[in-house]
Amino acid sequence: MTDIKKVIDTNLFHHHFKDRRNKDVIICYLTEEHLEKVKEMYDSFEPKECAQGLPFEEEEKRHKWLKNLLKNEYNLIALIDNKVVGHACLINIEKGKTAEYLVFVHQDHQNCGIGTELTKYIKELAKRLSYQKIWLTVSAFNSCAISVYKKAGFHFVGPRDSDREMVVEIYKNQIK
């Protein structure tokens, strides 16, 4: 697997854009300085346990889950006015081949293009880390998230159920 320092030392993972409300948003790689701000985002996130039981309702359990994600996985965040409003994570499933994707955008900032940008940059990160495929699970009733994922090239796999699996293949020569 590619050394993460080589991946994040590029300007790619410090991206500025205007959201649909014309607010300045920064997408960047999560660093130590943002840890408390990520906790704050999840502490105020509602509804809790809305996506396959995440983020956890119980504070101690939620903070332990976050600590593991932030320590062991690849994380991008979205900032508005130095406040974390979104978090995206690649969770290694099969080293260098498959990663699971999760993304949360704070309810006060949803439907503004932040999830779309986080997904775009997580795909680029996965490509640079030599992953071949990103996998996720989404509620079949979450049409906004499904739309974001489809725009990013994800497609459904597996049986129809209340939770649906989606995947996107990552190719080194793919530019989107």
Neighbours of 110 (CB within 10 A): 15
108-77-94-62 Cα dihedral, nearest 10 degrees: -60
Whether residue 15 lies inside any domain: the answer is: yes
Report d(CA 54, CA 101) in Å as an integer: 13
Whether residue 174 lies inside any domain: the answer is: no
* Residue ranges making up the domain that contains 100: 4-169
Report d(CA 36, CA 92) in Å as an integer: 23
Whether residue 175 lies inside any domain: the answer is: no
pLDDT at 12: 56
CATH number at residue 58: 3.40.630.30
pTM of the entire predicted model: 0.86
Write out the chain's pLDDT in tens, 176 residues: 344 555 554 455 788 999 999 999 999 988 878 889 999 998 999 876 676 666 778 889 888 888 888 877 899 999 999 999 999 999 999 887 999 999 999 999 999 999 999 999 999 999 988 899 999 999 898 899 999 999 999 999 988 888 899 999 997 555 44
